[in-house]
Structure 1
Amino acid sequence: MSSKILGSFFTFLVACLVVTEGMSLRGAGVEPRCRCIGTESRRIGKLIARVELFSPNPHCKDTEIIATLKDSGEEICLDSSAPWVRKVIDKILSRNQS
């Protein structure tokens, strides 16, 4: 085989691996980055339908707290340092331990 064909094949193979690896992460429900870019610290407790906690992982070093709003279904990232958010987290964790 000529070096041009071998080089083209190698480039094609690497491109396929990159594309399929990215697809497999998303298909498995794993984002290849942090979900939260910014966070909300205002008190919105009465507007929240559901709260999800996401532990740090290889793609994001932060614990992420994502709230889904009742009326719109919009997902909002909460500021884990806000006192009211800490109370919500403590309540969720104590409920899960019972």
Structure 2
Amino acid sequence: MNCKIFTVSIIVFLAFLVICEGMSLGVDQRCRCIKTESRRIGKHIETVELFPPSSHCKDTEIIATLKRTGQELCLDPAAPWVKKVIEKIIANKAP
């Protein structure tokens, strides 16, 4: 009987550790972008991050940080000017 209690206690403890470790990774389990911006804001952008589709979000997400405010905006990947920005990013990363 004591062996069963010990085994169950170990399993519960390990499950607790796994859950805590998963929470500490800070992985967001959903898409970051709810609303996207399609109007031209190119000259106001400081940085652009590109997040390809993943198991957490089926959409390609493009997040721009603005120069003055540091605000992050989600850009519409279908907007023609955004496509050009993506092409430039990809061209600059290619060896």
Whether TM-score is above 0.5 comes out as: yes
Q: Percent identity?
A: 65
Separation in 2, partners of 1:38, 1:18 = 33
1:47 maps to amino acid: H
Match of 1:81 among 57, 78, 82: 78
Residue 57 of structure 2 corresponds to residue 60 of structure 1: yes
Q: How well do the aligned residues superpose, as a CA RMSD in angstroms?
A: 2.6
Listed as ranges, the gaps of 5+ residues in structure 2 are 2-8
- Cα deviation for residue 32 of structure 1 reads 1.3
Which SS does the other structure have where 1:60 is aligned?
A: coil
Match of 1:24 in 2: 24
Instruction: Show structure 1 runs of 4+ deviating over 6 A.
Output: none
Listed as ranges, the gaps of 5+ residues in structure 1 are 2-8
Separation in 1, partners of 2:81, 2:23 = 37
- Cα deviation for residue 50 of structure 1 reads 0.1
- Cα deviation for residue 24 of structure 1 reads 3.1
8 A Cα contact 1:49 1:67, kept in partner:
yes
- Cα deviation for residue 18 of structure 1 reads 8.4
Separation in 2, partners of 1:20, 1:84 = 42
